[in-house]
Amino acid sequence: MDFVGYRSDSLGMAVELVNGLRGASEPAERPGLPELLAEHRYLLDVPWTAASDAELWTWAGRLADVFAAAEVSTAAALINELLAGAEITPHLTAHSGQPWHLHFSRPEATVLARIRAITAFALATLVSEYGLDRHGVCAASGCSRVYADTSRNAGRRYCSSACANRSAVAAHRARRRVADTT
């Protein structure tokens, strides 16, 4: 399974956008998008505005629907809508001293167009190759964060090790309570 480089980073971007959206009850509590974009090596090509924030958070909401889909056909339909709304024009590039790599939007596309294209394409690739087995909403009680499983064994059900550990401890305590009452 090839989860290195550009594809993996685009999945990470999709996950972080959705989790940033879901993790804040108010827009002001969401993470700063220019910083998030910089962490994922996106170069801002225009001054960042409140309208840019709103557009990207709206896109994150559409990505969230894919992570929450319970049926492959639903996820596929949602991804097809994302792909239709993205300007996907693949080309090879070797900018900024990087080796040749694939971009999914035209060279003059804005950063927002590039993010829409790469996140839509990453989810399309993930679902077309692995169905719903490699992504979803965290299985921990009370957590609504999402994950994309890039491990070899495809066993992930939690957004983080903290949620996995918390769930394991809760299950252990529940088993002990049952054992103590019998």
Question: Would the pLDDT of 84 be above 70?
Answer: yes
> Closest Cα to residue 109, out of 125, 124, 90, 122?
90
- Percent of the chain at pLDDT > 70 equals 95
Q: What is the pTM of this model?
A: 0.84
Q: Pick the closest to residue 137 from 8, 15, 10 (CA basis).
A: 15
CATH, domain range 5-136: 1.10.3300.10
Residue with tokens 């792909």: 83
- Share above pLDDT 90 across residues of the chain, in percent, rounded to a whole number: 44
Structure confidence at residue 154 (pLDDT): 78
Domain residue extents for the chain: 5-136
Angle between helices 5-22 and 111-130 (to 10 degrees): 100
Give the other-Cβ count within 10 Å of 147's Cβ.
22
Whose CA is closest to 48, among 104, 119, 111? 111
pLDDT classification of 47: cutoffs 50, 70, 90:
confident
Classified as helix, coil or strand, 141 is coil
